[in-house]
Amino acid sequence: MSKASKNVRAEAARCLLAVLDKGQSLSDVLPQAQINVGEKDAALLQEMCFGTIRHFARYDAICHQLLTKKLKGKQRVFHHLVIVGLYQLEHMRIPEHAAVAETVQAAVSLKAQGLKGLVNACLRNFMRNKDVLLKKTANPVTEYNHPSWFIKRIQAAYPEQWQTILEQNLQRAPMWLRVHTSNKPVTEFCTALDDAKIEYEVHPHNPTAIRLLAPKPVDKIPGFDQGWFVVQDAAAQNAARLLGACDNEHVLDACAAPGGKTCHVLDTAKVNMVAADIDETRLSRVQENLTRLKLEAQLVCGDLSDPKTLESFEQFDSILLDAPCSATGVIRRHPDIKWLRRNEDIEQLSTLQANILQTMWDKLKPGGTLLYATCSILPDENKLQMQQFLTTHADAILVPIVNQGHSDEQSLNETVDNPGWQILPGEHNMDGFYYCRLKKSQ
Ligand SMILES: C[S@@+](CC[C@H](N)C(=O)[O-])C[C@H]1O[C@@H](n2cnc3c(N)ncnc32)[C@H](O)[C@@H]1O
């Protein structure tokens, strides 16, 4: 006999507890919670978790006002249950009475019959006194739903655009596909989408990047098993083109897992590819992707800041370094990032990036190209990192990303003081991303 599915709101509250109090990532806890609630409620649970985490600061502050005493220990999950209730009242198309009743019922699933009244009182109090509560809790953190350190960094880096960036981070992420053209020409893939009545839009400057108007599970899209496409944000789809590797080159994808860019480079040229990453589990995903797309690469597991990891390899013609970073460009895709990251992490990450960059530079042939990439929007990891590298490496030449027929790039005015291409979240519906191309002098 199959076990009864768990209550969806109670599971959402448990997920919030795991992420916001215990520091786990939502992508680690959500899959099991979705199994617990069953297929029917999996999408509802996802919406509740993503939505509440996106708007967490607003509802956390209101919740503190509503609860007369702080909930601690085992009762803490009810703080999050109230937040789940508040989010439903403001953002979901669930009638108010049903949202309240179902959330109160979830208290029973959380084995706290006695707290039903408390949850009920909080939600009803919110409905009656919303304006007063919002006024009492208004500040930049609750208004923009980002931590204060992050708002300050974005204001300093983007004095004109900071509000748009923070607003974009609250949007739902679109689903982008990259057509794997060695396995399926773009026109044929588009016909297959038309036949399956799947609506889509092609990126204005990149014909292999296709955005589905409504996200779908991959197995409901034609050709997943046959390797016709991969799920990959359009910003990430610039890497292979900007690297510009040619047939027969010896190429390294450094920090490769799960292999989205490895596969893309192999779709653009017949190169001899080495894909390296420190994380063995993630590296196994590279192999899965290569197999599905019918591609080959040599995989290496190890720390790329350590010169020993690749000591048995000759220098490479081209290196793609998609460095570990704050991932602040992909907050709309992973909203928990903004609450899990700490201000102190940025310095540590930029030190790690500089170390890996130095080791990779030593593995690049004279005359070779290194493309540095991150999914960050913080200058410390991007522009300032590259400025520093260019001023301390006489053999590093900036190769500006311009005039390749990509109109976004026409207006880039790259110099050694302003190196690289910073894509901001939401530009052409893409993730935030950074690219900078360097050549090693002969
Ligand atoms: C941004 S992700 C790479 C995404 C990948 N390039 C893609 O397109 O699918 C960064 C990767 O860096 C790896 N990493 C972190 N520190 C590392 C290190 N010291 N050496 C090698 N890889 C590292 C992480 O395991 C992670 O897979």
Cα separation, 433 vs 158, whole angstroms: 15
Closest protein CA for atom 10 of ligand 1 = 324
Q: Which of 271-275, 379-383, 401-405 has the lowest mean pLDDT?
A: 401-405
**Which residue bears the tokens 């899990």?**
340
For residue 68, the model assigns a pLDDT of 80
Q: Is any ligand 1 atom within 6 A of the Cβ of residue 256? A: yes
Helical segments of 69-185, H only = 76-91, 96-109, 116-137, 140-144, 148-157, 162-169
**Ligand 1 center to 255 CA (angstroms):** 3
Q: Which of 133-142, 148-157, 404-413 has the lowest mean pLDDT?
A: 404-413
Cα separation, 369 vs 29, whole angstroms: 39
Whole-model pTM over 0.75: yes
**Ligand 1 center to 197 CA (angstroms):** 36
Q: Is any ligand 1 atom within 6 A of the Cβ of residue 193? A: no
For the chain, what is the mean pLDDT? Answer: 94
Which of 39-43, 65-69, 344-348 has the largest mean confidence?
344-348
CB 31 within 8 A of CB 130: no
Q: Is any ligand 1 atom within 6 A of the Cβ of residue 285? A: no
Q: Which of 63-72, 149-158, 188-197, 382-391 has the lowest mean pLDDT?
A: 63-72
Out of 3.30.70.1170, 3.40.50.720, 3.30.230.70, 3.40.50.1460, select the CATH number for domain 175-231: 3.30.70.1170
> 375: helix, coil or strand?
coil
Q: Is residue 326 predicted with pLDDT exceeding 70?
A: yes
Q: Is any ligand 1 atom within 6 A of the Cβ of residue 42? A: no
Nearest CA-CA partner of 322 in 368, 259, 271, 378: 259
- Residues forming the active site: 375
CB 377 within 8 A of CB 432: yes
Average pLDDT over residues 376-380: 98
Q: Which of 66-80, 81-95, 239-253 has the lowest mean pLDDT?
A: 66-80
Please tell me if the domain spanning 175-231 has the same topology as the one spanning 238-440.
no
Q: For residue 4, which phi and psi values (nearest 5 degrees)? A: -65, 145
**Atom of ligand 1 lying closest to residue 257 CA:** 27
**Ligand 1 center to 261 CA (angstroms):** 11
Helix, strand, coil share (%) of the chain residues, nearest 5: 50, 15, 35
Q: For the residues of 172-187, what is the DSSP string, one character each?
A: PPPEEEEE-TTTS-HH
**Ligand 1 center to 278 CA (angstroms):** 7
**For strand 206-212 and strand 200-203, is the pairing parallel, antiparallel, or unpaired?**
antiparallel
Q: Is residue 65 predicted with pLDDT exceeding 60?
A: yes
Architecture category of domain 238-440 in CATH: 3-Layer(aba) Sandwich (3.40)
pLDDT band at 406 (very low <50, low <70, confident <90, very high): low
Q: Is residue 410 predicted with pLDDT exceeding 70?
A: no
For residue 404, the model assigns a pLDDT of 53
pLDDT band at 96 (very low <50, low <70, confident <90, very high): confident
List, in sequence order, every beta strand (DSSP E) within 130-269: 175-179, 200-203, 206-212, 229-231, 250-254
For residue 114, the model assigns a pLDDT of 73
For residue 18, the model assigns a pLDDT of 97
Q: Is residue 144 predicted with pLDDT exceeding 60?
A: yes
**Ligand 1 center to 326 CA (angstroms):** 12
Q: Is any ligand 1 atom within 6 A of the Cβ of residue 255? A: yes
pLDDT tens by residue, 161-213: 999 999 999 999 999 999 999 999 999 999 999 999 999 999 998 999 999 99
pLDDT tens by residue, 6-31: 899 999 999 999 999 999 999 999 99
Nearest CA-CA partner of 87 in 38, 47, 136, 39: 47
Average pLDDT over residues 32-54: 95
CB 324 within 8 A of CB 352: yes
**What is the end-to-end Cα distance of the chain in Å, rounded?**
70
Nearest-10 crossing angle of helices 76-91, 8-16: 120
For residue 1, the model assigns a pLDDT of 37
pLDDT tens by residue, 416-429: 989 999 999 999 99
Burial class (CB in 10 A: 0-12, 13-18, 19+), 312: exposed
Under CATH, which number does the domain 3-144 receive?
1.10.940.10
pLDDT band at 379 (very low <50, low <70, confident <90, very high): very high
Domain parsing of the chain, residue ranges: 3-144, 175-231, 238-440
pLDDT tens by residue, 359-369: 999 999 999 99
Which of 176, 277, 303, 305 most suits a substitution to test ligand 1, by most atoms within 8 Å of the C-beta? Answer: 277
Q: Is residue 2 predicted with pLDDT exceeding 60?
A: no
Q: Is any ligand 1 atom within 6 A of the Cβ of residue 265? A: no
